[in-house]
Amino acid sequence: MQQIIEGKAYVLGNDVDTDQIIPAEHLVYSLSDPEEKKNYGKFALSGVPAEGAGLPEGKHAFVNEGEYESDYRIIIGGRNFGCGSSREHAPACLKIAGIQAVVAESYARIFYRNSVDGGFFIPFESKVRLAEDIKTGDQLSIDVEAETLTNKTANKTYELKSLGEVIEIIKAGNIFEYAKKTGMIAR
């Protein structure tokens, strides 16, 4: 696990649901086939309305045309991020697209647990609303151990809520590796 996560921000609002994260028509690809799996990154956040990310006029794609990895590494969300269905494909597609962390005011619990248990990315919760302070494209840095997010573009630092007990699952890589490491299941 990285101690410092750095990259460009992609800012979203409240109630971003799993159909916006990965629309149902794109759930046909195999996650075990390396080539098909890339389609999950290619179509990540393709259900978010163009104005939803606060992007400049004419620049609406989370992932550039013909690519499957995004230029963005950190998503800033509002309340209830990942609401909707319980599909594991939603956090998986964000990882495939290159997301290393999501910082939201709150999460739908099943999305949060899928993110942690699958080892897809670190789901931080912010202590304050960040969607108005941080802009899409701002350069961010997250210190995982200190639980802080720094907007390097605006030279401003924010405290994040503690990850609590889930940090051990995140450090292990996913829930199965954690279970092996702690002796819950045989190696």
What is the per-residue pLDDT across 66-123, written as a single tens digit (0 to 9) for each? 999 999 999 999 999 999 988 899 999 999 999 999 999 999 999 999 999 999 999 9
Q: What average pLDDT does the structure give for the chain?
A: 93
CATH class name, domain 4-161:
alpha beta
Cβ neighbours of residue 58 under 8 Å, at least 6 residues apart? none
* pLDDT at residue 132 is higher than 70: yes
**Which residue is listed with tokens 């045309």?**
65
What is the per-residue pLDDT across 25-77, written as a single tens digit (0 to 9) for each? 999 999 999 999 999 999 999 998 766 555 554 455 899 999 999 999 999 99
Start-to-end CA distance of the chain, whole Å, equals 21
pTM: 0.93
Strands (E), the chain: 4-11, 72-76, 101-104, 122-125, 139-143, 148-151, 156-159
Amino acid at the residue 77:
G
Cβ neighbours of residue 186 under 8 Å, at least 6 residues apart? 180
